[in-house]
Amino acid sequence: MLVDCKTGGPLPGVTVTAMDADLITDDRLGSSVTDSTGHFRIDYTSADFKKTFLSPLINIETDTTFPFFSSGPDVYFKLEIGGTPITFETSANRRNNVDYYLCVRLCISNLIIADTQIPASFTRIGRSARFGIVSEINPATGKSMRPSFDNYAFYSSIILVGSLSKKPDNQPMEYMFEYEEVAAPGNSLLPGAWHPVTPAMIPKTVIGYLWTLTGDLMNPIATEDYFINGNPAYEKTVTFNGNWIQMPQEPHFALHIHTDILTLNTEALMPIVTINVDAMTIGNATVPAVAAEVSNRYFAHRMKQRQWGITASEVVAGTSHPIAIFNARYDRVPKHGSWIPGKYDGELAVCSLDIEEIIICMGGCGKITNALTIHINARNENLGGTSLTLTGPAKPGQSFSFPAIASAQPEVFSNSIHPVIIPINSVSELLPCAYTVTMSTSILLTTGDYIPGPLYDFISFCKV
Q: What are phi and psi of 14, to 5 degrees?
A: -100, 130
Q: Given this model, what pLDDT does residue 63 score?
A: 46
The pLDDT assigned to 101 comes to 80
pLDDT of amino acid 338? 83
Q: Tell me the one-letter amino acid at 114.
A: A
Residue 7, phi then psi, degrees to nearest 5: -105, -20
Q: Encode pLDDT of 276-298 as tens digits.
A: 999 999 999 999 888 888 999 99
Residues 6+ apart with CB under 8 A from 421: 398, 399, 400, 427, 429, 430
Q: How far is CA 158 from the centre of its chain?
A: 8
- Could you report the average pLDDT of every consecutive run of 10 residues in the chain (464 residues)? 91 92 82 93 73 47 48 87 89 85 90 85 97 98 96 98 91 97 97 97 97 88 95 96 97 94 98 95 91 95 96 96 98 91 96 91 70 96 97 96 95 96 96 96 97 96 90
Q: Are 445 and 327 in contact (CB under 8 A)?
A: no
Residue 191 is classified by DSSP as: G
Contact between 218 and 7 under an 8 Å Cβ cutoff? The reply is no
Q: How far apart are the first and last CA of the chain?
A: 80
Question: What is the architecture of the domain spanning 332-462?
Answer: Sandwich (2.60)
pLDDT of residue 340: 82
3-class DSSP state of 375:
strand
Domains 1-109 and 332-462 share a fold: yes
CA dist., res. 442 & res. 281, Å (int): 21
Tell me the domain boundaries of the chain.
1-109, 121-210+218-272+286-325, 332-462
* Rounded distance between C-alpha atoms, residue 124 and residue 128, angstroms: 10
Which among 74, 254, 268, 248 has a CA at the least distance from the CA of 179? 268
Output 243-246 pairs: Cβ under 8 A, ≥24 positions apart: 243/176, 243/196, 243/197, 243/198, 243/199, 244/174, 244/175, 244/176, 244/306, 245/174, 245/175, 245/176, 245/207, 246/172, 246/174, 246/308
How many whole angstroms separate alpha carbon 262 and alpha carbon 157? 10
Q: Which tens digit of pLDDT belongs to each residue from 186-230? A: 999 999 999 999 999 999 999 999 999 988 888 899 999 999 999
| Nearest residue to 205 (alpha-carbon basis) of 454, 460, 452, 449 | 449
Tell me which H or E stretch contains 47.
helix 46-49
**In this structure, are residues 355 and 373 in contact, taking their beta carbons and an 8 Å threshold?**
yes
Answer whether 399's CB lies under 8 Å from 419's CB: no
Strands 315-319 and 323-325, bridge-based pairing: unpaired
Domain spanning 1-109, CATH architecture? Sandwich (2.60)
d(CA 355, CA 340): 12
For the stretch 179-200, what's the b/e string if a residue is b when 16 or more beta carbons lie within 10 angstroms of its beta carbon? bbebeebeeeeeeeebeebeee
DSSP 367: P
Closest-CA residue to 30 (of 3, 12, 49): 49
**41 and 35 in contact (C-beta within 8 Å)?**
no
Q: d(Cα 338, Cα 366) in Å, to the nearest integer?
A: 10
